[in-house]
Structure 1
Amino acid sequence: MKRTILLISGIAGLCFSSMNKSPGPEDSFERQVEKVADSIKVDDIVVKNLFKYQILAHKKGSFNAELITEKVYLPHQKLWDSCYAMIFGEKNAALFNTEAGMQKWNQTLYPQNKVQFDEKVKKLLKVNLNRTLSCNLKKFSRLVPYHPKAVISIVFTPLTGIGFGGCSSDQFALELNHENTDPEYTLEKGLPHELNHLVYENFRNKDAGKDTALSQTIDEGFACYFTWVFFEGKIQKYTAVENMSKEQWEWYLNNEKKIFAGVKPYFSDASGSNPLLRNDQIKLFPTAPKTLNYWLGFRIVEKYVEKHGPDSWKDIYKLTAKEVLEKSGYESYISSL
């Protein structure tokens, strides 16, 4: 599942205006970490703050190996055993699917990277992690007529690769130390995007064309459009699509007809290797910023909603990708350009 990584700045805070109070000077960093909830649960979505004990296991300069087992490994054992151990291969599996392996790398990872890791966590503390998570999850539950089951852990890892994503809905992770992850942005703005993927995925998997480039395009575009809906239009549409700049968005608008004509032949392709999904490699449009399918999917969904009404985005969960395109009127719009 695609990861969301960039920072959106300057956005009025919806849930966040009341939670940006800096911790009091009397609170040490360690004390602030202790106040972070072990987990936040809303309906069937659980976010586990495993990073908390990856830090506290080193309290007062000593290492508590049992804390890693009890508070990091066992609470989300499926993530470590079935996802990380698989992703990084047999050679590295024992790092993640054994207690001894988990304890070994946790003994050195935080002390060796303390300055960088602490800075990441301080960003989360600044926005009040407990309230931000709770607020976003509750708002998602109110907006979306379908409630996914998901378990998401916020972690530090010795090998990174997920960013923000996972192997299945109960094996999701946000890697705080991934080089392209801004955790503050991801939890405030990226979480709605990823949760929408989880809801739509349940319906998409029933579509015979679920593996096509068009299906992937609608999936990503819908997640971007939902993010814009989630923030009630208080972010620009272009920022909801991979945090584009206004200039990047205008490039797409200026080339919209060419883009559609160029990628339409690949809508039914299920190989994953086509210009719509991999323009970064195939370079059908070498000067295109960001990724074609996120933008095109957003535009198709946008046209669908323009045609069917402001709440019609909820229809898309139950429609196939082909139906969304056909009912959006997007092709007619392109013909009129």
Structure 2
Amino acid sequence: MKPFALAFLTLLFCSCAAPKNTKIASYSDLIDKVKNIKDSISVGKMTIHNAYKSQLLAHHNGRFDSTMILKKVYQPNKHVFDSCLSQIFGEENGKKFKPEGLYMWNRKLLAENESLIRQKLAVLDSVNVDQLFTKHLNALQKITGQQGEGKWLVYFGPKGFQIFGGCDNNAMILDMFGSDWTMQSIDKVFAHELEHLLFNPILEKDPNGRTGLGITLDEGLAAYFTSLYLNQSQEEALYGKNTQILLDREKEIFEKLEPYFYKTNEEGCPIFRHCGRNSDCKPVVEGLPKEAENELCYFLGFRIIQHYVAQNGKDSWKDIYTISLKDFFEKSGYKEYIQGKRP
């Protein structure tokens, strides 16, 4: 009986060990793909933390290293997890972004998302992300003449909780599981979000930075800068063929949202509703393509900046960094243009 039992146990051990080793081997190429990526990239006072590297390295040799998640993912980005992600997704879901919650879903990260992770990491085969981010950061500062400062987290978020954006200059997020993490859109998305980060200190100082006018110019500037940086047409910068629909209804859109330009979120729900910042009221501009309905600020802000440039010269859009938002709007001549425009 003993030799038989020993042989049985040996067979059992081997049958269990083989698949495990195979799985470890299947992850090894993912580990190799990220191990030489820098933990972080800094240009001036802007830093990008590549937390996804440590999320994968935590599974090295088939053993989950929770200490690495704590020290390399959570602690360097504590503000992002505690003051941004855990807040915007609600009290219950917020637990996913505390250390214990991070351990739980990161422990299963590779096992449950291997195929998607391979797909998202494929971007790294065509794009040197370190060089790409450094190029963007340098270009942004050179084109705008502004230095800016802030911190970005690039990571794989828990399933169903993806975000491209953030809460403040030190809590900006690029979730690699998000639909925007593709070779086609990463240039556009990153340039757009970087401009938000750069403009945020201006918004904080301006008396209208948190009003409807502030968010309109904020979104419009991000779209306008991206169009210059990537040499995009107006349609490419906005909504493709749907851009013409907005142009045809431009007078209506402005006249329905302009009364809320100098109101805050609490007072001016309609404009914040159409800027994707508040869902507590119904839209005041109806029958638009779904893609554009929640982003009318992009369109209006872009058009205001276009008119400012037409009135004041090619590089005059940079005045937005040095004069008040109200002055910028008034000197654009956009309201006068709308008033003289036929319905």
Query: Could you tell me the TM-score, scaled by structure 1's length?
Result: 0.82
In the TM superposition, residue 114 of structure 1 has moved relative to its aligned partner by: 1.2
Give the Cα separation in 1 of the matches to 2:305 and 2:113: 43
Contact 1:305–1:313 (CA under 8 A) maintained in structure 2: yes
Contact 1:160–1:175 (CA under 8 A) maintained in structure 2: no
RMSD: 2.4
Question: Size of the alignment, in residue pairs?
Answer: 304
Q: In structure 1, what is the equivalent of residue 331 of structure 2?
A: 327
The 5-angstrom pairing of residues 9-48 of structure 1 reads 28-48=29-49
In the TM superposition, residue 45 of structure 1 has moved relative to its aligned partner by: 0.8
Q: In structure 2, what is the equivalent of residue 175 of structure 1?
A: 175
Contact 2:175–2:181 (CA under 8 A) maintained in structure 1: no
1:47 counterpart SS class: strand
Q: Deviations over 1:83-111 (max 9, x none)?
A: 3333344545554333x443332111232
Q: In structure 2, what is the equivalent of residue 278 of structure 1?
A: 273
Give the Cα separation in 2 of the matches to 1:47 and 1:271: 30
Q: In structure 1, what is the equivalent of residue 228 of structure 2?
A: 229
Give the Cα separation in 1 of the matches to 2:81 and 2:284: 39
Q: Deviations over 1:281-314 (max 9, x none)?
A: 6233322231221101100011001111111111
- Structure with the bigger RCO (C-alpha within 8 Å, sep 6+) is 1
Give the Cα separation in 1 of the matches to 2:320 and 2:288: 27
Give the Cα separation in 2 of the matches to 1:76 and 1:335: 48
Contact 1:48–1:151 (CA under 8 A) maintained in structure 2: yes
Instruction: Classify 1:52/1:298 alpha carbon distance in 2 versus 1 (closer, same or farther; 3 Å).
Output: same
Contact 1:53–1:72 (CA under 8 A) maintained in structure 2: yes
Q: Percent identity over the alignment?
A: 33
The 5-angstrom pairing of residues 170-209 of structure 1 reads 170-178=170-178, 180-185=179-184, 187-209=186-208
Contact 2:30–2:56 (CA under 8 A) maintained in structure 1: no
Greater CA deviation, 263-272 or 318-327?
263-272
Contact 1:44–1:147 (CA under 8 A) maintained in structure 2: yes
2:269 aligned with 1:259, yes or no? no
2:304 aligned with 1:300, yes or no? yes
In the TM superposition, residue 115 of structure 1 has moved relative to its aligned partner by: 0.8
1:282 counterpart SS class: coil
Instruction: Classify 1:80/1:126 alpha carbon distance in 2 versus 1 (closer, same or farther; 3 Å).
Output: same
Q: Deviations over 1:211-248 (max 9, x none)?
A: 221221111111111111222xx21122223xx11x21
Give the Cα separation in 2 of the matches to 1:144 and 1:62: 46
Give the Cα separation in 1 of the matches to 2:298 and 2:315: 21
> Which structure 1 residue ranges, 5 or more long, are not aligned?
1-26
Instruction: Tell me which amino acid in the other structure corresponds to 1:264.
Output: E
In the TM superposition, residue 186 of structure 1 has moved relative to its aligned partner by: 5.3
Instruction: Classify 1:103/1:161 alpha carbon distance in 2 versus 1 (closer, same or farther; 3 Å).
Output: closer
Give the Cα separation in 2 of the matches to 1:160 and 1:84: 13
Give the Cα separation in 1 of the matches to 2:70 and 2:211: 41
In the TM superposition, residue 165 of structure 1 has moved relative to its aligned partner by: 1.9
Q: Deviations over 1:55-94 (max 9, x none)?
A: 1222333222222223222232222233333334454555
> Which structure 2 residue ranges, 5 or more long, are not aligned?
1-27
Instruction: Classify 1:81/1:259 alpha carbon distance in 2 versus 1 (closer, same or farther; 3 Å).
Output: closer
Give the Cα separation in 2 of the matches to 1:83 and 1:334: 38
